[in-house]
Amino acid sequence: MAQRAWKPEDRVASRALRFLRELLDEYHPRDFAIELWDGTHWDPEASQFRRFTWRINDPSALRTVFASSRQVALAEAYLYGQFDFDGDLGAVFPLADYLLNKHWSVNEKLRLGGLLLGLPSHTSKPAAGAIELHGGVHSKQRDRQAVSYHYDLSNDFYRLWLDRNMVYSCGYFQTPSDDLDLAQRQKLDYICRKLRLKPGEKLLDIGCGWGGLVIHAARDYGVQALGVTLSERQLGFARERILQEGLAERCEVRLLDYRDVEGSGAYDKLASIGMVEHVGSSRLREYFQHAYRLLRSGGVFLNHGIGRAGNRPAPQRPTFTDVYVFPDGELVPLATTLQAAEEAGFEVRDLENLREHYALTLHHWLRRLEGHAEEARRVADEVKYRIWRLYLAGSEYYFRSGKLDLYQTLLVKNDVGRSGLPLTREDWY
C-alpha cells in the first residue's frame, strides 16, 4: 500500500505535533487539548477533564515563541491571536510556569531545536499595544504617562467588570459567596474602621481612583476627605459622583501628584489603596517621608498594596505586566516596604495579608469581563480585551499560588512615644 503523500501544510502540522509531544512529554496531568491550524487535535490525557483548549492559529508562532528567551513572547502570541485559549484561562498558567522554568538537558534542547527549525519562521504581528514612556523613571511627568496609559483606557470599559462603585482594588469577603458589590463595600468600611475615622477628621486618599473611598468616608463617617489622582478620567467620574451624593462640601478630588500635596501635619488620617505599586523601590523612602510630613502627630496611615513573595526573586527581564499593563510598576517584598516606612519615622502597628481576598476579587473581575467580551471589544479593542483578560487570569493564579501577597499595613506617626491606639482590635470586627 502506497504511503500517503503529505501536503506541505500537513508536513508542518506533523512536525508541530511532534514538537509539542516532545515539549510536554513530562508535563502531567495534561488537562487541556491542543488544536492546530489545520484541525489536527490532541486530546487531554485520558483521565483528565479538559480545562481549556490551546488553539495554535499560526504555525510560525511556535518557532517565534519557543526560540525566544523573552517571557513576554508567550503572552504576545495570545494577544495578537496567534494562540487562543478557550475555556479556563487561569488553568493555562501552571503550563506557562512549567515551560518558563523547566531546565532542559542538552539533548532535549537539540531535539526540540531541530523540530523548531522545520517550522515557518516568519510571523506577521500587528503594532504593539504597549506604550513607550518618556522621561526619568518615576519622574512626575513619566508617572503621569504610565497612569494615563492604564487608568484612562475608558471608564466604560472598567464599568463592565468593576463593582457599581468602581473600586479597583482587593475586596473584603466575609464568605466566599459574597458578591463583588458587597465585598467592595465591606472593604471600604473595613479601611475606615482600621483608620478609626471620626466626624470632622481630615482624610487624604493617595491615588483615590474613581473616588470610592473618599465618598464612603465622607458620607458614612463624616470626615473631610481629599483624594488625589493622576487620571483625568477618574477625576471626572469621581467629581460627578461627589455631586450626585451631595458631598461637595465634605469631599474633593484633585488631579495632583501625591508629591505635590501640601500641608505639614494637615491630615489626621492617610490611606493609599493600591497605589504603592506605582512608586518604585527607589522612591519608597521619599513616599513614606512625604506621608509622614502630611500627618499630624499621632496620625495614622493605612498603606494597602501588592507585594512580591519574599522567597520569589525579582524578574530579570520585563514581564508581560511590565510591558502591557502597568509600565514602571514594581512589586517589592514586604520587608523592603516596611524598612522604608520605618526609616521615614513610622511605627508599624498592624499588618494583614489579604491574599485570598484578592484571588476572589480577581475571579469576579475576570468572569465579569469575559461575560461582557463583545462589549469590551467594542469599547476598547481586541488586543486590549486580551491584555486585560490575561492580566486578570494571571493575577488570580499568582495570588492563589502564593507568588503574590496583598498587605494592609497600619502605620502611626508616633513622634511623642504614645500611639494613641486602643489596646485591642475589637472595634475593627
Instruction: Specify whether domain 9-117 bears CATH 3.30.1050.
Output: yes
Q: Which residues of 383-407 are buried (b: 16+ CB within 10 A; e: fewer)?
A: bbbbbbbbbbbbbbbbbbeebbbbb
Q: Is the pLDDT of residue 299 over 60?
A: yes
At CA 48, angle to CA 46 and CA 50, rounded to 5?
110
pLDDT > 70 in the chain, percent: 96
pLDDT average, residue stretch 288-304: 98
Does 252 or 314 have the greater pLDDT score? 252
pLDDT digits (tens, 9 = 90+) for 319-369: 999 999 999 999 999 999 999 999 999 999 999 999 999 999 999 999 999
What does the alpha-carbon distance between residue 297 and residue 23 come to, in Å, rounded to a whole number? 61
Q: Which fold has domain 140-428?
A: Rossmann fold (3.40.50)
Q: What's the pLDDT score for residue 126? A: 53
Contact 265, 295 (CB under 8 A): yes
Does 277 or 71 have the greater pLDDT score? 277
Strand extents, DSSP E, 265-395: 267-273, 295-308, 347-353
Q: Is the pLDDT of residue 1 over 60?
A: no
Q: What's the pLDDT score for residue 6? A: 42
What does the alpha-carbon distance between residue 292 and residue 345 come to, in Å, rounded to a whole number? 7
Q: Whose CA is closest to 195, among 270, 266, 306?
A: 270
- What are the sequence ranges of the domains in the chain? 9-117, 140-428
**What does the block give as the cell for 62?**
511556535
pLDDT digits (tens, 9 = 90+) for 232-247: 999 999 999 999 999 9
Confidence of residue 124 (pLDDT cuts 50, 70, 90): low
pLDDT > 90 in the chain, percent: 83
pLDDT digits (tens, 9 = 90+) for 163-221: 999 999 999 999 999 999 999 999 999 999 999 999 999 999 999 999 999 999 999 99
Confidence of residue 5 (pLDDT cuts 50, 70, 90): very low
Instruction: Indicate the average pLDDT of the chain.
Output: 93
- The amino acid occupying position 269 is K
Q: Whose CA is closest to 211, among 172, 153, 158, 253?
A: 253
Q: Is 123 exposed, middle or buried (0-12, 13-18, 19+ CB in 10 A)?
A: middle
Q: What's the pLDDT score for residue 3? A: 41
